[in-house]
Amino acid sequence: MRILLKFVIDCDPDAAWRALHSPRAVAELYGPLLSVDGLTEMPTSFESGDDVPVQMSVAGVVPVGRQLISVADRETSDANGRVRVFRDWGVPLTGPLSALDVWDHQMAVSAAPGEPGKTLWRERLTIGGAAAPALWPGLWATWQWRAARIRALAPTWAHDPEDDPDVDE
C-alpha cells in the first residue's frame, strides 16, 4: 500500500535537501502532535548509511513506538534535471507500526519546473503486511499533516548562516 505526495514548496532544492538531512527539521514536521527523540545521541545531520533509533511519543509524553531510521541517499534525473532522493528504509521496532512487514519512505527534491527558487517535493511511503490496511488510514492522515507542515516550514529552511551579516567572521 502506498501514500503519495507531490507539491511545490517555497525554498530552493539545496535548502530542502539540507532539511531532509536535519533531525531537528524532520522532528518539526510532526510537531507539536508527535515528538521524535533519539534513543542514542542524534547526529547533527543524517548521512547515507546511518541507522538512528528514535522514540516517537504524543506531545513528548505518551510513547507510541520506536523506529529505526535507516538512511540511503541517491541522485537521479528526470526531464527537468537533477533529482535527489532521501530514503528511510528503516523499520518500526515497537508500537502499532511494528506490525508492518514493509516500511519504505522515499522523499525526492528537485527544482520546480518554471518556478525559480522553489522545490518540487515528491514523497512515497510504501507499507506492507497483514496490518497495512488497518494502519493505512492513520498514516494517510499523518502524511497530510506532514504535507501541511512541510509547506509551512519550507520558507524557514532557506536561511544560510554563512550569508548572515550578523554572524561573526
Q: For position 60, what pLDDT does the model report?
A: 78
Specify the pTM.
Answer: 0.88
Residue 21: CB atoms within 10 Å: 18
Pairing type for strands 34-38 and 81-88 reads: unpaired
Q: For position 159, what pLDDT does the model report?
A: 66
Q: For position 160, what pLDDT does the model report?
A: 57
Nearest to 136 by CA among 106, 103, 90, 95: 103
Q: Which three cell numbers stand for residue 116?
A: 525559480
CATH number given to 2-158: 3.30.530.20
Nearest to 35 by CA among 44, 26, 22: 26
Domain residue ranges in the chain: 2-158
DSSP 8-state class, residue 97: G
- For the chain, the maximum distance between any two Cα atoms, rounded to a whole number of angstroms, is 56
Q: For position 161, what pLDDT does the model report?
A: 54
Please list the rounded mean pLDDT of every run of 10 residues in the chain (169 residues).
Answer: 98 97 91 87 94 90 92 93 95 93 96 96 97 96 94 88 50
Nearest to 103 by CA among 85, 126, 84: 126
Q: Is 26 exposed, middle or buried (0-12, 13-18, 19+ CB in 10 A)?
A: buried
